[in-house]
Each structure stands twice: as structure tokens, then as C-alpha cells.
Structure 1
């Protein structure tokens, strides 16, 4: 059996931390590492190390993942420990005691660790669809767009940034925490989403002078309102999910591209190819050229999806 190097061990412990706090699929965790360490050392030391990075991490006391997720996570650790022939450790039972009998709630916290230190912490709804909207949870394209922003900070540093359909705020808060936008305008149209956005902005202690949260209805926003934003960069993630709203979204993007010099980016998890194809065809029919950005992105955040994610930059077509 090969003993993991220090760097491998640190990597695996970090993976447990990152996946635990983002409430990623338990099956994605490196359980083989745990089993090998338990069998090889005949001690529960690795369990204690994992617990220190998860349930006993300082972030968990203030912003814990859901009760159900923590129960399932601890149950998996117990299974691995028992399968190795070891008795479950007191440390593990101390963690379990914190969640046994704890009441389930409709809200939870998810945290995403940043490469420069610190983390983006979001309060989200446990249910994917809640209060008539899907905007109260983080979606895959928002994670990808945030990672792309960290690799391409020239589009955000010292610029006014407008985000369409901000949801719970993962992309925007990452940009505000790691880049230096002169101004960042979060926007959405659902009252509960706007309320949650403001809570998450306060939770992450963003500079109130540099950020705004605005209600922006794509179907009724005026040219004057768009001009007043004066955005240098416009971003949107996971907004192409419903054929009903695609026409309204395309109309808005056409107006933005035609009336400003802003760099405009749309990131989508392509779950329904027909819906996405309809979106891109309507853009092209409306005089917008699409540039697919395919350069590799430094992956930072755990992501539970096999969906194809496409990032496009929009340009106004030059008349022939």
C-alpha cells in the first residue's frame, strides 16, 4: 500500500472541507483515502482530521450546512470506520450528538473557499424550487462564471459591473470579494430573491458604497434606466432555462449590446439543447454575433453536474 505524501493528504482533507461546506454529493468525496488511512494506521486519526476540517471547523459553528446533510456525512464516516474494524471514535460521536435531534429547517448555508483566502458564504433554500422561483439556490453556471471571472479580472477591476439574474449572489459576491470593481449592480426581479441577495451581501460584509441591489424586470426596464447604469461589463449566469422568458431576455441583451460599449457575457448550463439553441438563434437573428469562450478555466469550486457549460461573449454584428 502506498502511503500518501503530505501534499496528497492535505489535498484530500481540503477536498473534504470544500465539498462539505458546499453540500456537494457525498459520493464525490475521496472515501478511498479515508479507508486506506484507517486500514493502514489502525487508528481513527484521519477521522479526527476530517472532522476538524468540517463539523468542527470554525465556519460550521456559525454557518452550518443543513442538518440532514451533516447527518448523512457523519453516517458515511461511521460506516468507513466500522468497516475498517475500528470502534467509532469519541470525536465522531461528539459531532453526531450535535445533529441528532436537531430540527430541520428550510434554509441552509453553503460556503465556497476562495484561492486568496476567506470564503463566500450564502444562505440558500434547501428546496431547488421555493416560493415560486429557482433563484434561491446556487446553480452550476454561476460557479463556472465566478471561476472564469477570477481568471479574467481585467473585465472586472476598476469597472462598473451589472449582473442580470443574480440569484443568491455567488458570482457577484465572488467578484466583489476577489476583484476590484468600481461598482457592482446585482439585479433580479423576484422580491424574495432580492431580499435574500441583500442578506447575503450583508453576510459577506461587502463594501456598501461599491454595491447596489436593484429590481430589474427584463420586460419593462426603460432605455433611460439601462443608460443610467453605465455598465462596463454585463454578466449573466443560468438565465437560459425557460423558453417562455428567452424572448424577453434576448430583447434586453440586444438593447444592451446596441446602446453601450459594455463587454457582455452569458454563461449557461445547457440542460435542454433545444431551449439553448432557440436562445442563440434569436440572438443571431437580432443582429448579435456570439463568441464562444473555450479557454480552460481554473476550477476552484466543487460542482455536481455533468451538464455542458457554455460561456459566450456578445458582439453587435457589423453591417455588410
Structure 2
């Protein structure tokens, strides 16, 4: 995890952040147009070339960089009088690398997600970015969805960073942690301990790699293997967690009974404070995109049968827009629920 100062203008900051996050090329071109008033000026072309493409590790993500350069060249040729020569040279260089550099095609791509933290949100931010490096999957069609970066994960991370006092000095337990972004956000706002869990072995290994990549100490942020159908109450309650979190975990009707049972067990936890009478019940925050209403309604019925209260807090607890450059991220599709 790296927090870096950024002195560029807001539009250029967004453009660089979009490139590092590997936003789709059409989104990046839209940001570039917005930056230069409708067309790609020489200044913007040079910015993309020098501070995005040339400053990146050219041995990684070659296909993405080639696609961006191609889009910029086509756009510049069609709307500008001048096309920066370096764009053609760099495109040719990367094309040759793709042909001649012998290397195994990786199943993971490295994305850098920049959260634009306004001053005053907490003691750690003063017009600086929180930059999170994440290895994400390229094989979503082959079932590697646990290593993807989903909208609900981004939304929940924005929520945590927007309301740090809800999580600072708390023991936080995430169910289905995926790439680990939520855990990085919890660590940033000062959670006393973060337990990240997943029931898929390859996803868990990828998450551990991401935690190391962001220099998170294993004592503060821990990863655990947790298949929902085999979860034991005695194992879950030993963490004495204050809150439970989850992003995009309501998707498969076959998994709903197991998920409800895990939430029921987790929410039974009451953390003991200094005095014996000082106890506070755990609460869960779940962010989700409702892709299938029948599955979500099944979840609500199962929650009611398990005596869990599910409250929609989406409108009352809107997070700040900390990812203004991420045009591919539709925050309006995400709902936030408080479960107790």
C-alpha cells in the first residue's frame, strides 16, 4: 500500500489513475477528451505517452498498452492537426516486443487503484491518493471470478474510506474477500485487526500475494481459508470481531443457506471491552449488485428465518466519489445493506 502526493491538475490526475487501473480504452479516451476540451491536443498526447506508457513497466500488460496507443493514434489522426511522433514509435516498439520477447502469458494483470482522498476525511489524508496494487484475473470465463475486481468491492472500499470512524480500532471480518481490496481499505482507516477469508484456494493465494504487494503486516491483516459449508461456530467466534463485511457474495442460490448460517454465527459474536457489562453486538455491511432478484429475495427470506435484520442503507450512507476517473464503475448499480 502506497500513499503518494499528486501535484497534477485534477483532469490529468484522473487520466493517469485510469491508465494505472487499466480502465477500458474507450473510458480512457473519454477522459482524455474531457481533459483537452474535446480533442486530443499535443499536450494530452504527450502526457499519455510520457507519464502513462513510457513510465510504466513495458514488459507487463503489453496488450493493454498497445490497445491504448492504437486508440490514441486513431483518435488523434481523426481530430487533430498534429499527432505526436513518439506515439507511432512506441506502438511499433511494443508490437515488436509482443512478437520477439519470449515469455509465458500471465493469467494475472497488475492494476493500481487510486482513491482520491479529500483533506479532512481522516488524519492520513491531505489531498493525497491511496494507491492499491492488485493482481487481478484475466480468466473470468474460466471460473476465476474470485480474483476479479467487482463494482461492489469498489463501493464497499469507498464506503470504508468515507466513514473511517465506523471501522477504526475495530476487529473486522470479511467473508469472501476476493482480491483483498476491502482489507487494504480497512487497514488504511486504522482497523485494529482485519481477518480476510475465502473458500477458494487459488483466490486465497492471490489475495495473500496482494497483501504482501501492499506491505501489510500479517499480524494486523490475516487471511484464512473458509468454505462456508464447513464453517464452525467455535472457530468463527474466537476472533471476537466487531463487524463483518462482504462484497458481491449473494450470487448463487445454492450457496445462500451456507452464507446465511455463516452470517448468523458471526453476528452472534459480542466483543467484551474493559468492563464485563461493556459489550457490543457485531454488525455486518454487505455491498451487492442485485443481478438476480429471485436469488436476492431467497436471501432475504432465509435471513428472516434466521432472525437476521436486513436494512437497506444505500441512500443514507452514500460513500464519497473517491474514484472519479473510473468510468467503467457504475456505483448506482450497487446496494449497501446493514445486517444485525
The TM-score normalised by the length of structure 1 is: 0.85
Kindly state the Cα deviation for residue 139 of structure 1 after the two structures are TM-superposed: 0.8
Please name the residue that 1:26 is paired with.
25
In structure 2, relative to structure 1, the CA distance for the partners of 1:303 and 1:215 (3 Å cut) is farther
Kindly state the Cα deviation for residue 95 of structure 1 after the two structures are TM-superposed: 3.3
In structure 2, relative to structure 1, the CA distance for the partners of 1:219 and 1:263 (3 Å cut) is same
Kindly state the Cα deviation for residue 51 of structure 1 after the two structures are TM-superposed: 2.8
Matched, 1:81 2:76: yes
Distance of 1:63 and 1:256 partners within structure 2 = 44
4+ residue runs of structure 1 moved beyond 6 angstroms?
none
Structure 1: tracts of 5 or more residues without a match = 1-8, 316-320
CA offsets per residue over residues 261-302 of structure 1, 9 Å max, x none? Answer: 222111101111221121122112221111211232112232
Distance of 2:93 and 2:184 partners within structure 1 = 30
Structure 2: tracts of 5 or more residues without a match = 1-7, 99-104, 118-127, 271-280
Q: Retained in 1: the 8 A contact 2:36–2:44? A: no
Distance of 1:284 and 1:27 partners within structure 2 = 43
* SS of corresponding position for 2:11: helix
In structure 2, relative to structure 1, the CA distance for the partners of 1:63 and 1:137 (3 Å cut) is farther
CA offsets per residue over residues 205-258 of structure 1, 9 Å max, x none? Answer: 112321111101211121110111111111010111111111110111112223
Distance of 1:259 and 1:118 partners within structure 2 = 32
Kindly state the Cα deviation for residue 36 of structure 1 after the two structures are TM-superposed: 4.1
Please name the residue that 2:319 is paired with.
297
Please name the residue that 2:124 is paired with.
none
Matched, 1:146 2:168: no
In structure 2, relative to structure 1, the CA distance for the partners of 1:55 and 1:242 (3 Å cut) is same
Distance of 2:129 and 2:10 partners within structure 1 = 16
Q: Retained in 2: the 8 A contact 1:13–1:53? A: no
Kindly state the Cα deviation for residue 80 of structure 1 after the two structures are TM-superposed: 1.9
Q: State the number of aligned residues.
A: 299
* SS of corresponding position for 1:268: strand
In structure 2, relative to structure 1, the CA distance for the partners of 1:63 and 1:19 (3 Å cut) is farther
Distance of 1:92 and 1:38 partners within structure 2 = 16
Matched, 1:137 2:161: no
Kindly state the Cα deviation for residue 141 of structure 1 after the two structures are TM-superposed: 0.2
Q: Retained in 2: the 8 A contact 1:143–1:303? A: no
Matched, 1:313 2:338: yes
Matched, 1:210 2:220: yes
CA offsets per residue over residues 149-207 of structure 1, 9 Å max, x none? Answer: 0111122211111111011111111222x211111111101110111011111111112
* SS of corresponding position for 1:265: strand
In structure 2, relative to structure 1, the CA distance for the partners of 1:145 and 1:85 (3 Å cut) is closer
Aligned runs of 1:158-177 on 2, under 5 Å?
A: 158-176=169-187
RMSD: 2.3
66, 86, 92: which one aligns with 2:87: 92
Aligned runs of 1:242-257 on 2, under 5 Å?
A: 242-257=252-267
301, 315, 321: which one aligns with 1:281: 301
Matched, 1:120 2:116: no
Please name the residue that 1:5 is paired with.
none
The TM-score normalised by the length of structure 2 is: 0.81
Higher mean alpha-carbon deviation, 79-88 vs 212-221, is at 79-88
In structure 2, relative to structure 1, the CA distance for the partners of 1:31 and 1:49 (3 Å cut) is closer
Distance of 1:207 and 1:51 partners within structure 2 = 36
Kindly state the Cα deviation for residue 303 of structure 1 after the two structures are TM-superposed: 5.6
CA offsets per residue over residues 76-132 of structure 1, 9 Å max, x none? Answer: 1101221134353233234324531444532211111132434101011112244x4
Q: Retained in 2: the 8 A contact 1:38–1:44? A: no
Matched, 1:108 2:109: yes
